[in-house]
Amino acid sequence: MLTLPSIEQRIAQELNAREAQIVAAIALLDEGATVPFISRYRKEATGGLDDTQMRNLEERLGYLRELEERRISVIGSVEEQGKMTDVLKQSLLLADSKTRLEDLYLPYKQKRRTKAQIAIEAGLEPLADALFKNPALDPHIEAAKFINPEKGVPDVDAALDGARQILMERFAEDAELVGQLRSYFWAHGQLHATVVKDKEIEGAKFSDYFDKSEAIKAVPSHRALAMFRGRAEGILNINLKLAEDAEAEANRSATKGERMIAARFGIQDQKRAADQWLLDTVRWTWRVKMSLHIDTELMRQLREQAEVSAIKVFASNLKDLLLAAPAGPRATLGLDPGLRTGVKVAVVDNTGKLVGYATIYPHQPKNQWDQSLHVLGELCKKHQVDLISIGNGTASRETDKLAADLIKRHPELRLTKIMVSEAGASVYSASELAAREFPELDVSIRGAVSIARRLQDPLAELVKIEPKAIGVGQYQHDVNQYQLGKSLEAVIEDCVNAVGVDVNTASAALLAHIAGLNTTLAQNIVEHRDQNGIFKNRKALLKVARLGPKAFEQAAGFLRVMNGDNPLDASAVHPEAYPVVQRIAESSNRDVRALIGDSAFLKKLEPKNFTDDKFGEPTVRDIIAELDKPGRDPRPEFTTATFKEGVEALKDLTPGMLLEGIVTNVTAFGAFVDIGVHQDGLVHISELADKFVSDPREVVKAGDVVKVRVLDIDIKRNRVALSMKKHSDGGERSKEERAAKHHPDNKRHAMPKQKEMAKPESAMAAAFANLKKR
């Protein structure tokens, strides 16, 4: 019998890679190797598969292995029932998805006793078969032969109903028919949302979906999830319909689903005795069994696709935040703004250690402005502060003014103030991790510490916070939480290992994301460091409790030992490859230390001259690049945005105003930008550039500093529409720019005109409705 290609062959085709690459990568994964380790240090084996390809491979491998396990189970079940045929087995062996496999297994799946099973037990299957195979037979005459009160068939009507139930179940469980219906309704179905009666006021935030219809296959993830949320909250009804069925229902003729069932089983009205009975059976099959099944299946498919898209958006934004430019090891003053409860202040030194803290009350109702400035000034002088990190929550602009006044009064300190996102700071401050780190510190002060540290090193601080609390997702609470968590953990692992960590300063929370380590090993490293002093070389890690050779192999290349015994320990060169560096040094009669940073010399080297059986040219090239710039940080240079003076609230904005801001969130329909008014503005996808944009991430990412122009302000609904286009609508545009403006896809996503802002485009409405207000 024919079978599907091997798992390795299927993945190779999907990833456009050679089968040998996939086989090697799978073998490494099965041995316990991590994705960061494989993509960085096993390029010879995998042919250079990068971390993105490896993540896709890992995901597909899991799915396909589950599919094969399920296939074996299904085949075994059907064979145990004695119902396996060659045709069925061939179909099961060629099923290339879980959905197809389950369609084929549906008639044989153990289920509760159905009406069809009861009819079969009553001996009515021959009647069903007879009428189906020979529509010329008179249903009533044939049914009379099967009357049997003792078996629950008291009359002709009962016999015909039982026969109908048998055929209905048979039709509804036909795998080919189910597949055809699913495909057709996905290609042509319209998703229609309507408001539940008398829920208009309560569900006002879903008003754009009170009467909305669009092709199900084209519904963007954010709109799909918004509609599903509206249904879950009892505001919306959602139905799947075919436009062509409206006329059929009006004319009381067969719908498309009914026609497809009839066509599949060759049922047609030729005026034979049983034709109408069979057509009625088709109609009942569709209306009672299949329409609901197809509706449920496609709604699930839509949700799954929407969730995958939303998870990708969250993961992409999280990656951008984690890899945002660090301010670096500079003493920082963290300010967690507040009004009545005061501004919480924390000072951390250049290593992130808390060295001072206070609570000040510069704002209403106490208005202790000068006293607050005095406290801040003394703290900055005492601890030689360079940076002021201000959380962007309540009273952030007022606190920004305070920082500006502090800078004016103390020019000798050369302070720089930066507004940062405080999303998740309160989650961290109340966490068990924060309690262990600062057991005696008030929860509110811990938040200020986090705000200070996330400016110094966003990656090191944000890994301490539950990813979902960072606030860069799109309907993150509506998606599959397991898949979301798995995806975000992979992002964090990739980011942490891409940057690497200093093993002598890293927290346990950061170390836990290093390849090969876990929470226990990370804590053991910190405890060993506290008890025995700093690590002087990578080999010393083998003395850490429970950190064996396998964990060391996976982790060592991502752990840095700065100013240690071996200069290579501060680089991304793996200890296993040190002999390669030694060969390079010996070939030129130079010391290893002399090689590091000597770009002119290193560029002249031929990688092939230093390869061996274990290390090929890809690894040698990486080693040479690392020697050139050891431990280089892949993150961008640190830059800051400057909020405009006097613009602190929505009322201060006017259309046409040019502002600078920070991108806080990127979605499928645009980007949200913090412009310092306590409410992020939306740059719709159609306003991101003077050219057509299909994916907002082509233009911006979370953390970017951008210049925007205010298009419209809706104070009542707390919304701001922004543009990043260089040209106003009335300005001169090139031929290409004019074409981009009128591109049909951009028209589809176009922002509403200013006079129509009272009823914004649904994506914008849903986004603002669910954006956390500051």
Q: What is the mean pLDDT of each run of 10 residues along the chain (774 residues)?
A: 96 96 98 98 96 96 98 98 97 97 96 94 98 97 97 97 98 97 97 96 94 95 94 96 88 94 97 97 97 96 94 91 93 96 96 96 96 97 97 90 95 92 90 92 95 95 89 79 92 96 95 97 97 97 97 98 96 97 94 94 95 95 95 86 84 94 89 89 95 92 92 90 76 41 38 32 39 36
User: Which has the closest alpha carbon to 379: 400, 361, 358?
Assistant: 358
What are the φ and ψ backbone dihedral angles of 360, each rounded to 5 degrees? Answer: -120, 160
Closest alpha carbon to 555 in 609, 620, 510, 608: 510
Question: Which H or E run includes 27?
Answer: helix 19-30
User: How far apart are the C-alpha atoms of 512 and 165, rounded to whole Å?
Assistant: 58
Distance of CA 642 to the CA centre of its chain: 30
2 touches 63 (CB < 8 A)? no
DSSP code of residue 761: -
Determine whether 330 is exposed, middle or buried from the number of CB atoms within 10 Å of its CB (0-12, 13-18, 19+): middle
Alpha carbon 229 to chain centroid distance? 18
pLDDT value of residue 727:
63
Hunting for tokens 């992409």 — which residue is that? 316
- DSSP labels, 434-496: HHHH-TTS-HHHHHHHHHHHHHH-HHHHHTTS-GGGS---SSTTTS-HHHHHHHHHHHHHHHH
d(CA 209, CA 583): 68
CA distance 330 to 351: 8
Handedness of CA 527, 532, 536, 540 (dihedral sign): negative
DSSP-assigned beta bridge partners for residue 705: 662
Burial class (CB in 10 A: 0-12, 13-18, 19+), 629: middle
Residue bearing tokens 């898209």: 309
∠ CA 241-247-248 to the nearest 5 degrees? 85
Instruction: Give dist(CA 56, CA 22) in Å, integer.
Output: 11
pLDDT at 92: 98
Measuring CA to CA, which residue among 390, 734, 352, 719 is closest to residue 509?
Answer: 352
Q: At what angle do helices 396-409 and 369-383 cross, to 10 degrees?
A: 60
Tell me the H-state helices in 629-742.
735-741
CA-to-CA distance for 558 and 502, rounded, in angstroms?
9
Looking at residue 749, what is its pLDDT? 35
Instruction: Work out whether strand 681-684 and strand 719-723 pair parallel, antiparallel, or are unpaired.
Output: parallel
Q: Which residues contact 378 (CB under 8 A, 6 or more apart)?
A: none
339-357: b (≥16 Cβ within 10 Å) or e = beebbbbbbbbeebebebb
C-beta separation of 670 from 725 below 8 A = no
* Non-local CB neighbours of 332 within 8 Å, separated by 6+ positions: 347, 348, 385, 386, 387, 388, 389, 452, 453, 455, 456
Distance from C-alpha of 322 to C-alpha of 495, rounded to nearest angstrom: 7
What type of residue is 574?
H
pLDDT of residue 364: 92
In angstroms, rounded to a whole number, what is the distance separating the alpha carbons of residues 416 and 613? 53
Report the distance separating Cα 754 and Cα 339, nearest Å. Answer: 34
pTM: predicted TM-score of the whole model, two decimal places: 0.84
d(CA 485, CA 567): 37
* Other CB atoms within 10 A of residue 188 CB: 16
pLDDT value of position 281: 98
Q: What angle do CA 468, 210, 213 make, to 5 degrees?
A: 90
Cα gap 515→493, rounded to integer Å: 7
- What does the alpha-carbon distance between residue 47 and residue 22 come to, in Å, rounded to a whole number? 9
Instruction: Tell me the C-alpha distance between 664 and 703, whole Å.
Output: 6
Distances (CA, A) of 493 to 9, 42, 483, 697: 28, 17, 15, 21
The pair phi, psi for residue 761, each rounded to 5°, is -55, 145
Please give the C-alpha separations between residue 214 and each of 186, 190, 219, 675, in angstroms, as whole numbers: 12, 5, 7, 34
- At residue 56's C-alpha, the angle toward residues 6 and 60, to 5°, is 35
Alpha-carbon distance 711 to 269, whole Å? Answer: 62
Residues in the chain: 774
Q: How far is CA 353 from CA 21, 348, 507, in A?
A: 45, 5, 11
